[in-house]
Amino acid sequence: MKIAVLGASGWIGNHIVKEAKSRGHEVVALVRDVDKCDDTNIEVRQFDLLDSNADLVRAVKGVDVVISAIGGRAAGNHEIVKNTAQKLLSELPQAGIYRLLWVGGAGALEVSPGVQLMTIPEFPAEYVPESIALAEAFDVFCNTNSTLNWTFIAPAADIFPGEKQAPYRIGGEQLLVDEKGNCRISVSDYAVAMIDELEAGKYPNQRIAVAY
């Protein structure tokens, strides 16, 4: 498949690019600053989500699937998350693209019935705005009438730097914890889960969680 990765120069996006390439997929990196994407083995296209005149349909021309790995933490621009979800759901079908995978977050997953992780006292305050933004984006997905086939993939609460370590598990709306009560996954194994779902397409139009 030919995959466009929005946010390919970011930490998670870069790992997704590498995993996709390792499986023989053709990758197009959609980035605001092309100088930040130094991989000469992929096609790089400039696309700035903050530019209201940027042509998304043109940016994804010839692509089969889009993976979005964007966030607003770096620039403190969290509204970009919800706005991007709305833009992709609306405009990707116009480009003939009907599959979208979204890098989500664990903050909105439930630790007990009706209680989201981001609302408990132990949840780090610095991650609350990002978690709220991703929860708002998920609401956009849930309420869309777009023809797009989407999957919202939430990583573990602790997504850490590291290589592939172990098989991961897939859950739904509840936070996945191991026998010690931890919710963890390496960024490399998260990328594996992302491309696994890309290839298998087992979870259309829903949120899934991945963790060890």
Task: Give 25-40 pLDDT, tens digit per residue.
Answer: 999 999 988 887 777 7
pLDDT tens digit sequence for 51-63 = 888 999 999 999 9
Domain that holds residue 70: 2-211
SS3 content of the chain, % helix, strand, coil (to 5): 35, 25, 40
Buried b (16+ CB within 10 A) or exposed e, 70-107: bbbeeeeebebbbbbbebbbebbeebebebbbbbbbbb
CA distances from 65 to 24, 58, 198 (A): 14, 14, 8
Instruction: Determine the pLDDT at residue 74.
Output: 62
| Measured distance CA(177)–CA(169) in Å, rounded | 10
Q: Confidence band (pLDDT; 50, 70, 90) for 75?
A: low
CATH of the domain at 107: 3.40.50.720
- What are the tokens at 10? 């970011």
Q: pTM score, two decimals?
A: 0.95
Task: State the Cα–Cα distance between residues 70 and 77, nearest whole angstrom.
Answer: 11
Q: Give strand ranges (E) for the chain.
A: 2-6, 26-31, 43-46, 65-68, 99-103, 110-112, 115-116, 149-154, 158-160, 169-171, 184-186, 206-211
Whether the CB-CB separation of 93 and 56 falls below 8 Å is answered with: no
Question: What total of structural domains would you count in the chain?
Answer: 1
d(CA 40, CA 11): 18
93 vs 50 pLDDT, higher one: 93
Segment 115-148, tens digit of pLDDT = 999 999 999 999 999 999 999 999 999 999 999 9
Q: If you average pLDDT over residues 91-111, what whole number do you get?
A: 96
Specify burial of residue 170 (Cβ count, 10 A radius: 0-12, 13-18, 19+): middle
Per-residue DSSP letter, 174: B
**pLDDT grade for 205, boundaries at 50, 70 and 90:** very high
Residue with tokens 């990583």: 155
